[in-house]
Amino acid sequence: MPVIEVEHLHKRYGDRTAVADVSFSVDEGEIFGILGPNGAGKTTTVECISGLRHADGGRLRVLGLDPVKDRARVVADLGVQLQHSALQPNLKVSEALRLFSSFYERPADWRELLELLGLGPQAGTRFGKLSGGQQQRLSIALALLGNPRVAILDELTTGLDPAARRDTWELIESVRDRGVTILLVTHFMAEAERLCDRVAVIDSGRVVALDTPAELTAQLDVQQRIRFVPSAPIEDSLLTDLPEVESVSRRGEEILVVGGAEALAAVAAQLARHGVLAHRLRVEQPSLDDAFLAITEQSEAPNSEAQNTAIRPTRHTG
Ligand SMILES: Nc1ncnc2c1ncn2[C@@H]1O[C@H](COP(=O)(O)OP(=O)(O)OP(=O)(O)O)[C@@H](O)[C@H]1O
């Protein structure tokens, strides 16, 4: 049985459609990512799944239960860390954890969570004095206090520096290793690539792609760009003769070869046949970033059905 089931979710704010038609399911033990540009409907989707908002249409199930009608039973197994959750600035870390523990029948040991999240030294620190990374860690700890089987984490590393982001990724992996299924909303492709088993790309309130990060990038018809400095002079024709190669250009002593997925193997074999070595070899492969842009640009094509029914997203770059 999937842990989260979303079928044709639809949600409007007044006459504006925030989520037009979203369907996906999350299996037990997965880290499932939701990606999409600003205003795509990601937060609205997870707020409906959490039971914090009423859907206008569609069917939602969390652990087989309706998140609104069976709210009391769902919250016992669901931990939610939402965007911009702020606590009273004077509340100390240990006080916040003790207070939130009292909301649950069988809370986790908050002292253990404090250590797991590396917040031990901050136990007596007030929320307002924590760094951005420490505040995020605390909000994750609060989401895990009820010993949830499912955790929803919305943009948990936004605003963190690269080191804090990496630490948080390790933390999320350790949470998953404890058996928690995780639904993760993120803007960061690297985060999705590193953490997520599968990813749904949402644009204009619809799922426009759903697959593993590797499959999403593999489906892309993006060229490989191969740069190297040959150990001996070579003619361009040596490379342009190869059917896998689309173009060859030079910048100083460096050669740039652009070609399809098989170009690297073909170029390497050709150079080897002529006894030439490729020094300072660099290959640029398509990334999930490229896939994301290709998918969302495609879904914004003028005749796209989504454009007529949902609010337009504003492109973000971060
Ligand atoms: N409470 C609200 N009232 C009216 N419109 C809203 C409300 N919340 C969100 N919206 C609109 O619904 C659309 C979807 O918003 P949502 O926050 O779900 O998108 P998102 O993908 O999470 O965006 P972001 O990446 O910026 O957080 C946006 O156009 C937003 O302006």
Instruction: Indicate the domain borders of the chain.
Output: 4-218, 224-284
**Nearest residue to 257 (alpha-carbon basis) of 242, 272, 245:** 245
288 phi and psi, to 5 degrees?
-65, -30
- 192-238 pLDDT, tens digit each: 989 999 999 999 999 999 999 888 877 766 678 899 999 999 999 99
- Ligand 1 atom 1, closest CA: 13
Does 248 have pLDDT greater than 50?
Answer: yes
Give the distance (Å) from ligand 1 centre to CA of residue 77: 26
Ligand 1 pocket mutation, candidates 6, 19, 34, 42, criterion most atoms within 8 A of CB:
42
CATH architecture of 224-284: 2-Layer Sandwich (3.30)
Q: Which residues pair with 34 in a beta bridge?
A: 185, 200
Ligand 1 pocket mutation, candidates 11, 44, 47, 54, criterion most atoms within 8 A of CB:
44
204 Cβ closer than 6 Å to some ligand 1 atom: no
CA distances from 312 to 56, 221, 223 (A): 19, 26, 29
What integer pLDDT is reported at residue 313 of this predicted model?
31
- 74-115 pLDDT, tens digit each: 988 999 886 666 788 899 999 999 998 888 888 888 898 888
On the CB side of 135, how many CA atoms lie within 13 Å of its CA? 21
Q: Which residues pair with 225 in a beta bridge?
A: 258, 284
Element containing residue 38 per DSSP (H, E): none
44 Cβ closer than 6 Å to some ligand 1 atom: yes
Give the distance (Å) from ligand 1 centre to CA of residue 311: 9
What integer pLDDT is reported at residue 147 of this predicted model?
86
What integer pLDDT is reported at residue 163 of this predicted model?
77
Least confident window among 145-159, 164-178, 239-253, 300-314: 300-314
What integer pLDDT is reported at residue 316 of this predicted model?
34
**Nearest residue to 58 (alpha-carbon basis) of 16, 14, 25, 15:** 25
Q: What does the pLDDT average to over 240-267?
A: 93
State the closest ligand 1 atom to the C-alpha of 155, by its place in the atom list counted from 1.
27
Q: What does the pLDDT average to over 300-309?
A: 43
171 Cβ closer than 6 Å to some ligand 1 atom: no
Does 17 have pLDDT greater than 60?
Answer: yes
Does 317 have pLDDT greater than 50?
Answer: no
Which amino acid, one-letter code, is at 62? V
pLDDT band (50, 70, 90) for residue 310: very low
Q: What does the pLDDT average to over 258-276?
A: 92
181 Cβ closer than 6 Å to some ligand 1 atom: no
User: CB–CB of 267/230 below 8 Å?
Assistant: no
- 124-147 pLDDT, tens digit each: 999 999 988 888 888 888 888 888
* Class of CATH domain 4-218: alpha beta
What integer pLDDT is reported at residue 222 of this predicted model?
66
Give the distance (Å) from ligand 1 centre to CA of residue 78: 22
Give the distance (Å) from ligand 1 centre to CA of residue 168: 25
157 Cβ closer than 6 Å to some ligand 1 atom: no
Give the distance (Å) from ligand 1 centre to CA of residue 47: 11
Q: Are both 4-218 and 224-284 of the same fold?
A: no
Which amino acid, one-letter code, is at 1? M
pLDDT band (50, 70, 90) for residue 307: very low
Interface pTM, i.e. ipTM: 0.96
Query: How far is it, in rounded angstroms, from Cα 34 to Cα 207?
Result: 9
- Ligand 1 atom 25, closest CA: 38
87 Cβ closer than 6 Å to some ligand 1 atom: no
